[in-house]
Structure 1
Amino acid sequence: MFTDVIAPATTPATTPRPAAHAAVQPTAVGVDIGGAYTRIWTSGRPLMHARSRDRAAGAQAAVRRGRIADPAAARSMLAGLFGGYDRPVPPGATVVACRPVHTNGSDEHALRQTLADVLAPGRLLFIDSIRAAAIGAGAAPGPLLVVDLGAQVTEAAVLAGGGVVDAARHEVGLDDVTGPDTEETVVAAVVDLLGRLRRERQHRQAVAAAAHGGLLLVGGGANRPRLVASIAAAVDVPVRRPAAPHLVAVRGAGLAALAALRRAVLRG
Structure 2
Amino acid sequence: MKRGLVGFGGVRGVALDLGSARARVWSSERGLVLDAPTARRGRRLVSRGTVADVAGVVALVGAAVEDGRRDRLSAVVTTPVLSDDSHRADVRTVLAELGVGSVVMIDSVKAAAFGAGADVAGPLLVVDLGAQLTEVALVVGGAVVAARRTALGLDDVRTVFPIVEVVGEAVLELLHGDCGAQVVDALDRGVLLTGGGALRPELTYKLGHRLGAPVAPAPAPHTAAVRGAATALQATHRHPTGS
TM-score above 0.5, yes or no: yes
Q: Which 5+ residue runs of structure 1 have no aligned equivalent?
A: 1-10, 18-25
Q: Which 5+ residue runs of structure 2 have no aligned equivalent?
A: none
- In structure 2, C-alpha distance between the alignment counterparts of 1:254 and 1:238, rounded to whole Å: 28
The answer to whether the 8 A contact 1:148-1:219 is kept is yes
The corresponding residue for 2:9 is 16
Establish whether residue 203 from structure 1 lines up as the match of residue 179 from structure 2. yes
Amino acid paired to 2:13: A
The structure-2 alpha-carbon separation of the partners of 1:207 and 1:261, relative to structure 1 and needing over 3 Å to count, comes to same
Q: Which aligned pairs between 1:1-268 and structure 2 lie closer than 5 A? A: 12=5, 15-17=8-10, 26-47=11-32, 48-54=34-40, 56=41, 59-82=42-65, 90-118=70-98, 120-140=99-119, 141-178=121-158, 182-200=159-177, 202-264=178-240
The answer to whether the 8 A contact 1:134-1:249 is kept is yes
The answer to whether the 8 A contact 1:94-1:260 is kept is no
Q: TM-score, normalised by structure 2?
A: 0.91
- In structure 2, C-alpha distance between the alignment counterparts of 1:168 and 1:242, rounded to whole Å: 20
String of CA shifts for 1:177-202, please: whole Å, max 9, x gaps. Answer: 33xxx2111111111111111111x1
Amino acid paired to 1:12: L
SS in 1 for 2:181: helix
String of CA shifts for 1:221-242, please: whole Å, max 9, x gaps. Answer: 0001122222222111111112
- In structure 1, C-alpha distance between the alignment counterparts of 2:162 and 2:180, rounded to whole Å: 26
Higher relative contact order structure (alpha carbons within 8 Å, sequence separation ≥ 6):
1
Deviation of 1:51 (Å): 0.6
- In structure 1, C-alpha distance between the alignment counterparts of 2:229 and 2:69, rounded to whole Å: 17
Amino acid paired to 2:237: L
The corresponding residue for 1:21 is none
Query: Which structure has the bigger radius of gyration?
Result: 1
The answer to whether the 8 A contact 2:16-2:25 is kept is yes
The structure-2 alpha-carbon separation of the partners of 1:78 and 1:13, relative to structure 1 and needing over 3 Å to count, comes to closer
- In structure 2, C-alpha distance between the alignment counterparts of 1:27 and 1:262, rounded to whole Å: 12
Q: TM-score, normalised by structure 1?
A: 0.83
Coordinate RMSD, CA, aligned: 1.9
Between the two proteins, the alignment pairs up a number of residues equal to 236
